[in-house]
Amino acid sequence: MAKDKKMVQAITSMDEDFAQWYTDVVLKAGLTDYTSVKGCMVIKPAGYAIWENIQRELDRRFKETGVENVYMPMFIPESLLEKEKDHVEGFAPEVAWVTHGGLEPLQERMCVRPTSETLFCDFYANEIQSYRDLPKVYNQWCSVVRWEKTTRPFLRSREFLWQEGHTAHATAEEAEARTEQMLHVYADFVEEVLAIPVVRGRKTDKEKFAGAEATYTIEALMHDGKALQSGTSHNFGDGFARAFGIQYTDKENKLQYVHQTSWGMTTRMIGAIIMVHGDDNGLVLPPRIAPTQIMIVPIRQQEETVANKVEEIRARLAKKFSVKADFSDKSPGWKFSEQEMRGIPTRIEIGPKDIEANQCVVVRRDNGEKVTVSLDEIEEKMTEILDTMQKDMFERAKKHRDAHVYDAKDYDEFKRIMNEKSGFVRAMWCGDEACENQIKEDTGATSRCMPFEQEELTDTCVCCGKKAKKLVYWGRAY
């Protein structure tokens, strides 16, 4: 059994090499694999099932706020991409270009969508005529392509899956309210379901989305102290509407420009789950997002009473949980290690002695806690254990995050923290992009966000010493 365990494990430890540990988990937990298509990944069943759960839960939350799903073409003609100046500058250098259709060269080349603002705008320009046509609160689930030089599974790949919401509103106020509303939908989902605490805030102008007036973001801290931008929501004002001529007739019969937003969340969140909750035994999935919540491992499965009892328990639990029983011809120890590597939240061990005593052993994946549970109350106990585990995982991640948030009152302190520790540094900022550039050059940190909950740590900018305008979370980021 010890030998088995060793064979399955064989992953680099987090402390030794975090990047290698991440890659090991992704591959050994069967989430993705490399392909012959450079920079693109295969998402395997164990990984895709997590994405399906993310989709189901987010989609439900979207629809509760009135979102409707649509599908736009995957191609953007070059002339369409170029209509909004900031936007094209932001994306043109990193798109894939289609130049031939069938055997013929195209009259106008098209890119594969890196994001679909331009397509939605082109559509809305025809679709929206009157105030009666507003608001439009549309979303699509699709893949997008950005021609990255260096790639990592889930975190940065040339193609990734996401949803992108695109809305149009009659007033600036309504657009702003929707932008913030969707950020909170993301934040609540990530905290409640993925058990990852986030900082909610606004991006600086330097870091905002190409073409946006304001970008809001949720920022999470990974186990290695690096930040991960986890979801963004953009308010475009009427900038795109002016570029694309999206106008409506208001109740007084006057022509007005619409106000727009967009917001997206991607498969990158699977990377966040790995890097926040994983450990040296592999993946650890929060119960609320786990495709399989319980793995039953029979001990002496060749004995008929064991096989029958395990199947009975599985069937009972299946009414309430996502549960599997592992009857493969591997040893129990091997199965334990596999269940651990794959991050299945709980394991139930049942053998002849347990059956005699009308009980089983339940092991939590996150902290290894073992409890003996009477088979009569297995449903209630599993609910309790999974609920507690979900809460504990959030609290543990929050404690880790909070322990890696540092306040810097002057630039020496800032540089020292960035040099010696890893995590978020909170420091005041004057609002000047030059200071952001200086800080990045000196420390590698970027401004992650100006949190909604502002404080005044000092009254001067941590970098230049001029009057401070905003509290900013800084950090090195994925």
Q: Which residues contact 103 (CB under 8 A, 6 or more apart)?
A: none
Alpha helices in 278-373 (DSSP H): 304-318, 332-341, 352-356
Q: Give, as ranges, the residues between 212 and 251 that touch a copy of itself (CB under 8 A).
A: none
Nearer residue to a copy of itself within complex by CB, 92 or 361: 92
- By beta-carbon proximity to a copy of itself, the closer residue of 17 and 33 is 33
Cβ distance 408 to 414 under 8 Å?
yes
Whole-number minimum distance, CB 47 to a copy of itself, in Å?
Answer: 8
The first and second tokens of residue 164, run together, are 């992108």
CA separation for the pair 413, 272 (Å, rounded): 29
User: What is the pattern of x (binds a copy of itself, CB under 8 A) and - over residues 405-444?
Assistant: ----------------------------------------
Q: Which is nearer to a copy of itself, 118 or 247 (CB)?
A: 118
Q: What does 400-454 look like in DSSP terms, one character per residue?
A: HHHHTEEE-SSHHHHHHHHHH--SEEEEEE-S-HHHHHHHHHHHS-EEEEEESS-
Select from 3, 15, 16, 102 the one that contacts a copy of itself (CB under 8 A).
102
Which residue among 99, 150, 253, 302 contacts a copy of itself (CB under 8 A)? 99
Token pair of 237, please?
Answer: 């004002």
| Interface positions, 34-93, toward a copy of itself (CB under 8 A) | 35-37, 40-45, 48-49, 51-52, 68-77, 80, 93
Asked if residues 349 and 290 have their Cβ atoms less than 8 Å apart, the reply is: no
Distance CA 147, CA 435 (A): 29
* Candidate residues 27, 86, 90, 147; the one interacting with a copy of itself per rule CB under 8 A: 147
CB of 125 to a copy of itself, least distance (A): 10
Q: How far is the CB of 5 from a copy of itself (least distance, A)?
A: 19
200 token code pair: 């909610």
| Rounded Cα–Cα distance for residues 13 and 262 (Å) | 39
Nearest approach, Cβ of residue 389 and a copy of itself (Å)? 25
Distance CA 218, CA 200 (A): 5
Q: Closest by alpha carbon to 173, among 212, 129, 135?
A: 135
Query: Among 4, 82, 86, 94, which residue interacts with a copy of itself (rule: CB under 8 A)?
Result: 94
Nearer to a copy of itself by C-beta: 133 or 192? 133
Supply the minimum distance, in Å, between the C-beta of residue 109 and a copy of itself. 8
Which positions touch a copy of itself (CB under 8 A)?
33, 35-37, 40-45, 48-49, 51-52, 68-77, 80, 93-103, 110, 112, 119, 122-123, 126-127, 138, 142-143, 145, 147, 158-159, 161
